[in-house]
Structure 1
Amino acid sequence: MSQTGHDDADVIVVGAGPGGSTAAYYCASAGLNVLVLEKASFPRDKICGDGLTPRSTREMVAMGLSLRPEDGWIRNSGLRVVGGGHRLELPWPELSSYPSFGLARKRMSLDHTLADHARSAGAKLLERTNVTGPLLDERTGRVIGVTARPVDDDGRRSGDEVTYRAPVVIAADGVSARLPLALGLEKRMDRPMGVAVRTYFKSPRHNDTMMESHLELWDGEPGRSNLMPGYGWIFALGDGTVNVGLGSVSSTAAATKVDYKDLFAKWMANAPAEWEFTPENQIGPVRGAALPMGFNRTPLYTRGLMLVGDSGGMVSPFNGEGIAYAMQAGRAAADAIVQSRARTTDAARERALGTYPRIMKEDLGGFYTLGRYFVKLIEHPQIMRLCTKYGLPRPLVMRFTLKLLSDCYEPHGGDMVDRVISGLSRLAPKA
Structure 2
Amino acid sequence: MSNSDDADVIVVGAGPAGSAVAHYCAVAGLTVLVLEKASFPRDKICGDGLTPRAVAELARMGVDTSEDDGWIRNEGLRVVAGARSWELAWPEIDAYPSYGMARARTSLDHRLVQHAQASGAKLRERTAVTGPVVDERTDRVVGVTARDVDERGRKVGDEITFRAPIVVAADGVSSRFALGLGLEKRVDRPVGVAVRTYFETPRHDDPWMESHLELWDGAPGRSNQLPGYGWIFSLGDGTANVGLGSVSSTPARQSAANIDYKDLFGKWMANAPGDWEFTPENQRGPVRGAALPMGFNRKPLYTRGVFLVGDSGGMVSPFNGEGIAYALQAGRVAADAIAQARTRGTDAARERVLERYPRQMSDELGGYYTLGRIFVRLIEQPRIMQACTRYGLPRPVVMRFVLKLLSDCYDPHGGDWVDRVITGLTKVVPSS
Q: TM-score range by the shorter chain?
A: over 0.9
Contact 1:128–1:152 (8 Å) recurs in 2: yes
Q: Helix, strand or coil: the match of 2:133?
A: strand
Contact 1:229–1:381 (8 Å) recurs in 2: no
| Corresponding position of 2:94 | 96
Query: Out of 218, 228, 232, which is 2:230 matched to?
Result: 232
Matched, 1:201 2:199: yes
Q: Deviations over 1:184-242 (max 9, x none)?
A: 11111110000000000001110100100000111111101111111100000001100
| Corresponding position of 1:161 | 159
Contact 1:86–1:389 (8 Å) recurs in 2: no
Residue type matched to 2:429 in 1? A
Stretches of structure 2 lacking an aligned partner (at least 5 in a row): none
Q: Distance in 2 between matches of 1:17 and 1:136?
A: 25
Q: Helix, strand or coil: the match of 1:284?
A: strand
Q: Compute the RMSD of aligned alpha carbons.
A: 1.0
| Corresponding position of 2:328 | 327
| Corresponding position of 2:263 | 262
Q: Distance in 2 between matches of 1:339 and 1:154?
A: 41
| Corresponding position of 1:21 | 19
Over 2 Å off, 4+ runs: 379-383
Contact 2:262–2:287 (8 Å) recurs in 1: yes
Query: Out of 80, 83, 94, which is 2:81 matched to?
Result: 83
Stretches of structure 1 lacking an aligned partner (at least 5 in a row): 1-5
Q: Helix, strand or coil: the match of 1:35?
A: strand
Taking structure 2 as the reference length, the TM-score comes to 0.97
| Corresponding position of 1:410 | 411
Q: Helix, strand or coil: the match of 2:158?
A: coil
* 1:339 shift after superposition: 0.4
Contact 1:85–1:389 (8 Å) recurs in 2: no
Matched, 1:278 2:276: no
* 1:126 shift after superposition: 0.3
Q: Deviations over 1:88-131 (max 9, x none)?
A: 00110001010001000000000000000000000000000000
| Corresponding position of 2:376 | 375
Residue type matched to 1:92 in 2? W
Contact 2:196–2:241 (8 Å) recurs in 1: yes
Alignment of 1:75-154 (within 5 A): 75-154=73-152
Q: Distance in 2 between matches of 1:365 and 1:51?
A: 23
| Corresponding position of 1:35 | 33
* 1:424 shift after superposition: 0.4
Q: Distance in 2 between matches of 1:85 and 1:370?
A: 29
Q: Distance in 2 between matches of 1:381 and 1:28?
A: 48
Q: Deviations over 1:297-330 (max 9, x none)?
A: 0010001110000000000001000000000000
Q: Helix, strand or coil: the match of 1:161?
A: strand
Q: Helix, strand or coil: the match of 2:246?
A: strand
Q: Distance in 2 between matches of 1:227 and 1:382?
A: 12
Query: Out of 235, 246, 251, which is 2:249 matched to?
Result: 251
Contact 1:198–1:243 (8 Å) recurs in 2: yes
Taking structure 1 as the reference length, the TM-score comes to 0.97
Contact 2:370–2:431 (8 Å) recurs in 1: yes
Contact 1:84–1:386 (8 Å) recurs in 2: no
| Corresponding position of 2:54 | 56
Q: Distance in 2 between matches of 1:42 and 1:295?
A: 28
Contact 1:84–1:390 (8 Å) recurs in 2: no
Q: Distance in 2 between matches of 1:7 and 1:243?
A: 38
Q: Distance in 1 between matches of 2:5 and 2:52?
A: 39
* 1:7 shift after superposition: 8.2
Q: Give the 3 Å change call, closer, same or farther, for CA 26–146 of structure 1 in structure 2.
A: same
Contact 2:5–2:33 (8 Å) recurs in 1: no
Q: Distance in 2 between matches of 1:213 and 1:109?
A: 23
What is the aligned-residue identity percentage?
A: 73
Residue type matched to 1:238 in 2? G
Residue type matched to 2:143 in 1? G
Q: Distance in 1 between matches of 2:405 and 2:425?
A: 12
* 1:412 shift after superposition: 1.2
Q: Distance in 2 between matches of 1:16 and 1:138?
A: 29
Q: Distance in 1 between matches of 2:82 and 2:287?
A: 27
| Corresponding position of 2:309 | 308
Q: Helix, strand or coil: the match of 2:130?
A: strand
Contact 1:12–1:37 (8 Å) recurs in 2: yes
Q: Distance in 1 between matches of 2:383 and 2:226?
A: 9
Q: Distance in 1 between matches of 2:278 and 2:363?
A: 43
* 1:140 shift after superposition: 2.2
Q: Helix, strand or coil: the match of 1:344?
A: coil
Q: Distance in 1 between matches of 2:232 and 2:387?
A: 23
Q: Helix, strand or coil: the match of 2:171?
A: coil
Residue type matched to 1:344 in 2? G
Contact 2:367–2:426 (8 Å) recurs in 1: yes
Bigger mean CA deviation after superposition, 362-371 or 398-407: 398-407
Size of the aligned set, in residue pairs, is: 426
Residue type matched to 1:11 in 2? V
Q: Distance in 2 between matches of 1:28 and 1:47?
A: 28
